[in-house]
A = this chain, B = another copy of it.
């Protein structure tokens, strides 16, 4: 496995990778969800590249950039064990050198849900992903379904700007008790960790209602709301029942539909979703 931290080294190393090349972009502090993306890439590509970069541009001024968990040696060992060929782990100065002033922005999709409560977040995501596409030049790129809106935004950007990259969205991996894997789960104390299960419980309850024939957004969202309300340590930030691609709110589940939610458990913000239809 080759590890590169400068642009010239990345370009040189990329030239040596047989195609197709798969890219798994990450912010590090890897868990089994990330590794499942590497495995998907491994199964479809001749070479697999991963990036590790905690991207300041996608954090708001009051968000957790400085405390975001990091462990590069462990991440590198996990990627090597998973069969990654190339790791791109630039510094902030390499990614955003002095004078940097170009941004990629998806207009409509990013104003909703996560974008509404995290203004500027997706502009940071799309800009860094565009840079990763231009430097790593992958044929395929892999993202997790847990960040459903991020996946929708990146699909949109890739299509709109004609990036020659195929986007794959892989299933959310969960702990044995249902909590969606996330690097931010490390923020939860034991009591909060227990309370965080309300997210999966809420989505599962909505799924049960859906399976028993209730397909109205109002009902599914209110089940989520009531479930979260019953957990004293949790506070619902939003729940949404929306079209999988456009994220337009729906009245009824119709075609591929995303039931998504954000919850604060203590000071930790968690997101999760189920796809219906």
**A residues at B contact (CB < 8 Å):** 7, 11, 99-109, 126-127, 130-131, 134-135, 137, 156-157, 160-164, 246
Pick from B7, B99, B246: contact of A162, CB below 8 A.
B7
- Could you list 17 A-B pairs, sorted by A, with CB under 8 Å? A99-B156, A100-B160, A101-B109, A102-B105, A102-B107, A102-B161, A103-B105, A103-B107, A104-B105, A104-B130, A104-B161, A127-B161, A131-B161, A134-B161, A134-B163, A134-B164, A135-B162
Which residue of chain B has its CB nearest to the CB of A103?
B105
* Contact in complex: A134, B160 (CB < 8 Å): no
* Contact in complex: B101, A156 (CB < 8 Å): yes
Docked Cα-Cα span, A160 to B137, in Å, equals 16
Pick from B103, B106, B164: contact of A101, CB below 8 A.
B106
Known pairs A102-B106, A102-B160, A131-B162 / 12 extra A-B pairs, C-beta < 8 Å: A99-B156, A101-B108, A102-B104, A102-B107, A102-B161, A103-B104, A103-B107, A104-B105, A127-B161, A134-B161, A134-B163, A135-B164
Which residues on B sit within 8 Å (CB–CB) of A102? 104-107, 126, 156-157, 160-161
Which residues on B sit within 8 Å (CB–CB) of A109? 101
* Contact in complex: A134, B162 (CB < 8 Å): yes
Which residue of chain B has its CB nearest to the CB of A164?
B134
* Nearest CB in chain B: distance from A76 CB, A: 23
Which residue of chain B has its CB nearest to the CB of A102?
B160
Which residue of chain B has its CB nearest to the CB of A136?
B162
* Contact in complex: A130, B100 (CB < 8 Å): no
Docked Cα-Cα span, A162 to B130, in Å, equals 9
Which residues on B sit within 8 Å (CB–CB) of A105? 102-105
Pick from B103, B130, B164: contact of A137, CB below 8 A.
B164
